[in-house]
Structure 1
Amino acid sequence: MSAHPHLADVVAALHFDLAEWMSSNAPPKVFDRFANALHDTFSAVTTVGQVVDRDTLLAGVWSAKNSQPGLEIEVTDFEELAHSGKIVTVRFVAENSMAGLRTRRLVTAILFVADHGYLWRSVHETAVPAAE
């Protein structure tokens, strides 16, 4: 049993907000929820191996508002890999779909347990080849 039973919902909610922001003329509160979920020292490794810091990621997300109408992001295969004190490591599949095209990423993330929920500290994404 997971020590953090609502964590899968937290992961799905962040991706829902990201998709809403990128696919519509969403209000600023959607971006704020996304930004406020990232730890001050957040970084991500993209599917092409580039390390991106929090400020760079948020600038890109901000400029991507309503840039991909119809985008949906589904989170599946969620696993809590480890937890120790206030640190939790999870893995899941994030699938973007838009206009009939689907791309999948296997994601490993480290989150900190905070007073108000969770803060994302690090994400590492690996592209998953399309099924043939």
Structure 2
Amino acid sequence: MIEEPLQVSIKILEKEYRIACEYHEQDDLRASARLLDHRMREIRQSGRVIGTDRIAVMAALNIAHDLIQLQRSRSGYGDDTGRRLRQLQEQVAAAMAGDPPAAEHPAFEAADPDHESQPHSEPPLDASDERV
């Protein structure tokens, strides 16, 4: 049985639109409409842009800019985080293979109370305050 698209009513700047979407996408469509309506109201209230179509274009540009910034921030993790993730992956692989961690992985040395403390070129991994 083929489902027909659902007609959802949304309101943006006091104007109502009926949009066809899949049933499972209606919440996202409504959230998108609320975001767009909010951005357009902010732009209209600033008084610097006049005309609904110009307000809509400015809102779309602002949202697109936010999306690009978000994609850039998520794409590389940052050099340090990427390096630390690779180091952690290597340590997990070594632990799974049964390699002694202290001999080849300096970050594990600090966790070994019987091992003498030596200065390290890399600090031990501590991701308690990092987000990926």
TM-score range, shorter chain: under 0.3
Higher relative contact order (CA 8 A, sep 6+): 1
Query: What TM-score, normalized by structure 1, do the two folds share?
Result: 0.25
Structure whose residues are more often helix by fraction: 2
Query: What TM-score, normalized by structure 2, do the two folds share?
Result: 0.25
